[in-house]
Structure 1
Amino acid sequence: MKHVSDLSRLGLFDAKVPRFTSYPPANWFSDSVDASCTRTWHSDASKNAEISLYVHIPFCRRLCWFCACRTQGTRNDAPLAPYVDRVLAEARDVRAQFVNGVQPHRLHLGGGTPTILSADLLDTLLSGLADIWGLENLQEFSVEIDPTDVGPARLDMLASHGLSRASLGIQDFDPQVQDAIGRVQSRELTQKVVDQLRDRGIEALNFDLLYGLPFQTARTLDATLEAALDMQPSRIALFGYAHVPWMSKRQVLIPSDALPDPKTRLALFDQARRRLLGRGYIQIGIDHFALPHDPLAQAYYAKTLKRSFQGYTNDTSPYLIGLGASAISTYPDGFAQNIPVTGQYANKIDAGEAATWRGYTLDARDHLKANLVEQLMCYHSADLSAAQRADAELMTAIDRVADHFDGAINWDGQSLSIDRWAHPLVRLIAVQLVTPSAVTSGERIYSAAI
């Protein structure tokens, strides 16, 4: 890959900053946002506000070692039905607070492993949500699926409720890599689930892949990509594995001495990017790829692409209501996150209380920064609004960062763009634009760039 020396000079392989892909990062959340705050945001919503719903199912039959998500293992189904009941209780309480009505546009089940729920429990959850929110006009209903923990009965139930997009976790097909990350999942099993989904009329498929894994090489990654492409997903998320065992204790099981170094990681991503572009996929932002007919690619070309805590989306609803333990809700005026520990979440719901734990309120300057970061994350460029150009502090920050990344950034006082070779620097550029003090050499944080 060209420009490796330039990327090195500009700090790509050395700078240590928190993971930064949207503004504000979740580590800025505080208890200044509580249940009274979200209640006001709900009741003040405009008439028939457009909303999207996210339901977090935190349970997994197995805990993959690479994962840093809010999940917990369970060897039996005992906690599942009570959890679904509590999610529905929370849903009823939140819906009642939208006194001016709502128009649900999207529903997404994430986790964890949503398909750990039996067909009957999925029916209970989805029927309950439909009764509470009225889901007859959904534009999209998507579910994260673990191919090792799903079956025809659950797929039939999801299809009967209108499943339109499925996201399959794969990560890597190489057996040695799978053993090293605690996720054994054969290509044949994955293909079987893909076929079952398509047999039920579900053609919109997302695949999650990882680069930077232990024992991963150019050869093994290429083989994984070829196997994945043979299944013809409409989207691929190609995430960089973040080794943060001080944050995710299970990652201590991953052999750190088998991880590729930063320059090899970058080469792996570039190899994968070129393969996907060569097969007709469009690169979306920093780590997503979509076929031209996919709505995400269409949003990219229409300049309506959005970046949220859940990644890239073409969802333009101003409200994303998160239900369940650790779920994050997005509002025009800020963010709110539910308490992450399932036992504490249960206690709150059983007591008839809101599960809100922490959040962040956006002021006028935050909106200016958030818009700038979103444009850079989506398009590696930004056209500043009059309000952004009138903000002296923001303009000073852009001037400073443009000087620091001289040769990588084009800045004319109104438009900011990052040269193609410097796109891997976008996280580092974004964090220095809005939080320059975050760049340190600390041990407990990790590279934002690759």
Structure 2
Amino acid sequence: MTITPELLAKYEISLPRYTSFPTLPHWDQNHFQPSKAIQLLKNQVLLDPRVSLYIHLPFCESLCTFCGCNKRITRNHQVEAPYIQSVLEEWKLYKMLLPTQPVISHIHLGGGTPTFFSPEQLTILITGLLNGQKTAEEYEFSVEVHPNICTTKHLKTLYNLGFRRISVGIQDFDPKVLYSINRNQTFEKTRSIIEEARNIGFTGINVDLVYGLPLQTLDSIAYTLEKIEKLKPHRIAYYAYAHVPWKSKAQRRYTEKDLPSSADRFNMFLFARKWLLSTGYVQVGMDHFAMPHDPLSIAFKAGKLNRNFMGYTTDISPTLIGLGASSISDFNTAYVQNYKEVETYQSTIASGHLAIEKGHLLTEEDVTNKRHIMDVMCKGKIKLPNDLSPEHLAYIEEKITEFINDGLLQWENESLVATEAGLLLIRNIASIMDPYLYRLGMRDNVFSKSI
């Protein structure tokens, strides 16, 4: 895989990660109507009752400075019970609106730190969500855990509630890097949690790693991968660090001078990719790796990989309902996002109203482009829509020629597919299909860098 410094400089631009389309900065707030979005949700559930639930649990005991997620830092665990009750009340409000009983196919607990909540409160949450509900024949419940505040009781409780997959945040095991991002996490504690999860019966072990962190080097990546080999996770999400200090003030603890260069970041990815492939992992999309028997690899090979607000997934449910502060829902033809502030979210729910702050109603053009962009992100293939303006089509054809000349795309039979180098720059490739970027142009301080 060869990308010259000149190509790195050319393609290192601010771009969406395309976990949805249109991306949130391009949502049309002027024409958004919550009532219309709810009607679209009702229509979708009548067509297909499968529903996935994402529950945002925003509390953390300490601040990881690299994190751009919506979180609330506190050691006051008195916040647990009222927040759980708000989430359950929100779910009741949704159920009252739905025209038929939904079938729950996935539940994902994200954060924040879900294991900030006690096993007892997590039991109240899950039993409340499932009370009187149908679950799909092959449902999956997953949870994000922080080894420092995840206990054996947490794992046993979650397993008994139906969870079989855990996602363990690691990022890096180098002490210097961990200190720079304010994450006091040891390999021994991480290994202990993963081993306990396996012994209890969890069949899916995911870990999150990040490259491009402050003070990170190839040596620290190699050190981390040596540790990862001992953990033997089924999936590895190897994310590029998103430096967005205008959005996440905690990232101002360090400066751009502390971050690896674009070339160093790229080499970090290549180094880890080579190691992961040599140890038996399959590359899935731009930044995930999974063992061949893992459902994510199987879905990728079968052309059934999906992508949503949590990243690459096997979840093919047409409806995702987000519960909790800042959660985003995807009703297939509409997006809605809850209020980010915990207090505003809770008070709105307490008043008997959904806590929807903003959203977007997809146009026919949005639906078409969403499908094509997800084909690029999940399959690495480009299909040209047949309803583009002549100007946009000419632009796409020009960019495709550039990508071919730069070694990012190639013809396979009659299809254009991403090369190995193209997979790393898949956001660049997908972006040419994005009419919002085409019309509005690239803007700084909106999206993270593509490399």
Q: TM-score band, normalised by the shorter chain?
A: over 0.9
- Is this contact kept in 1: 2:15–2:427, CA < 8 A? no
Q: Name the CA distance, whole Å, in 2 between partners of 1:204 and 1:353.
A: 36
Are the equivalent residues in 2 in contact too, given 1:114–1:145 (CA < 8 A)? yes
> Deviation digits for residues 17-57 of structure 1, max 9, x if unmatched?
45545421111234443431232123323166111111110
Indicate whether 1:262 and 2:262 are aligned. yes
Matched, 1:25 2:26: no
Normalised by the size of structure 1, how large is the TM-score? 0.93
* Alpha-carbon distance in structure 2 between the residues aligned to 1:216 and 1:290: 24
Change (3 A) 1:363 1:276: same
Query: Which secondary structure state, in structure 2, belongs to the residue aligned with residue 233 of structure 1?
Result: coil
Counterpart in 1 of 2:386?
389
| Cα 1:191–1:133 shift into 2, 3 Å | same
Residue 69 of structure 2: aligned partner: 69
Q: Which residue of 1 aligns with 2:438?
A: 436
1:13-412 aligned within 5 A: 13=12, 15-31=13-29, 32-44=31-43, 45-46=45-46, 49-131=49-131, 133-135=133-135, 137=137, 139-384=139-384, 388-393=385-390, 395-407=393-405, 408=407, 409-410=409-410
Distance in 2 between residues matched to 1:279 and 1:439, nearest whole Å: 41
Q: Structure 1 pair 336/441, CA: closer, same or farther in 2 (3 Å)?
A: closer
1:418: Cα distance to partner?
A: 2.8
Contact 1:48/1:100, CA 8 A, preserved across alignment: no
Q: Deviations over 1:171-203 (max 9, x none)?
A: 000000000011110000000100111111002
Contact residue 18 and residue 427 of structure 2 kept, 8 A: yes
The CA distance in 1 between the partners of 2:37 and 2:443, in whole Å, is 37
Show CA shifts across 1:212-248 (max 9, x none): 1111111110110121121111100000111111110
Query: 1:12 corresponds to which residue?
Result: 11
Structure 1, residues 37-90: CA drift from partner, whole Å, max 9, x if none? 232123323166111111110111111100000111111112111000000000
TM-score by length of 2: 0.93
Q: Deviations 1:254-299 (Å, cap 9, x if unpaired)? A: 3432210011100001111111011111101110000011111000
Deviation at 1:417, TM superposition (A): 2.4
Q: Over the residues paired in the alignment, what is the CA RMSD in angstroms?
A: 2.2
Q: What is the CA distance between 1:102 and its match in structure 2?
A: 1.4
Distance 2:136 2:331 in 1: 23
Q: Which amino acid is 2:146 matched to?
A: D
Q: What is the deviation of 1:376? A: 1.2
| Unmatched runs of 5 consecutive residues or more in structure 2 | none
Residue type matched to 1:436 in 2? Y
Q: What do residues 333-372 of structure 1 show as CA deviations (whole Å, max 9, x unaligned)?
A: 1211111111110110011111111112122211221112
The alignment of Structure 1 onto Structure 2 pairs a total of residues equal to: 444
Give me the whole-angstrom Cα distance separating, in 2, the residues matched to 1:159 and 1:20: 32
Cα deviation code 1:372-427 (max 9, x no counterpart)? 2111111221345xxx2354456334213224435143479973323333333321
- Separation of aligned partners in 2, 1:114 and 1:104: 20
1:142, 1:165 within 8 Å by CA — same for their partners in 2?
A: yes
C-alpha deviation, 1:3, in angstroms: 2.6
**SS of 1:340 mapped into structure 2:** coil
CA distance in 2, matches of 1:411, 1:390: 23
Q: Matches of 1:182 and 1:440 in 2, distance apart?
A: 32
AA aligned opposite 2:153: A
Give secondary structure in 1 for the equivalent of 2:75.
Answer: coil
- Distance in 2, matches of 1:96 and 1:153, equals 34
Paired residue type of 1:36:
S
| CA–CA distance in structure 1, aligned partners of residues 266 and 447 of structure 2 | 15
Shift of 1:146: 0.7
CA distance in 1, matches of 2:15, 2:105: 35
Q: After the TM superposition, which of the residue ranges 413-422 and 341-350 deviates more from structure 2?
A: 413-422
- Structure 1 runs not aligned, ≥5 long: none
Distance in 2 of aligned mates of 1:365 and 1:39: 20
Are residues 263 and 446 of structure 1, via their aligned partners in 2, closer, same or farther at CA, if it must alter by over 3 Å?
farther
Q: Contact conserved, 2:282 with 2:290, CA < 8 A, in 1?
A: yes
Q: Aligned partners of 2:226 and 2:441: how far apart in 1?
A: 37
Distance change >3 Å, CA 438–CA 185, structure 1 → 2: farther
CA distance in 1, matches of 2:393, 2:19: 21
The answer as to whether partners of 2:48 and 2:318 remain within 8 angstroms in 1 is no
The SS at the match of 1:389 is coil
Change (3 A) 1:256 1:130: same
Distance of 1:333 and 1:39 partners within structure 2: 11
1:59, 1:447 → 2: CA distance?
24
User: Using the alignment, how far apart are the partners of 2:446 and 2:47 within structure 1?
Assistant: 43
SS of match in other structure, 2:433:
helix
- What SS does structure 1 have at the residue aligned with 2:92? helix
Change (3 A) 1:152 1:424: closer
- Measured in 2, the distance between the counterparts of 1:440 and 1:364 equals 24
Secondary structure in 2 aligned to 1:93?
A: helix
How far apart, CA to CA, are the structure 2 residues paired with 1:275 and 1:85? Answer: 45
One-letter identity of the residue aligned with 2:108: H
Provide the C-alpha distance between the structure 1 equivalents of 2:414 and 2:21, rounded to a whole number of angstroms: 21
Inter-CA distance 17–198: structure 2 relative to 1 (3 Å threshold)? closer
Q: CA 1:76 to 1:135, structure 2 compared with 1: closer, same or farther past 3 Å?
A: farther
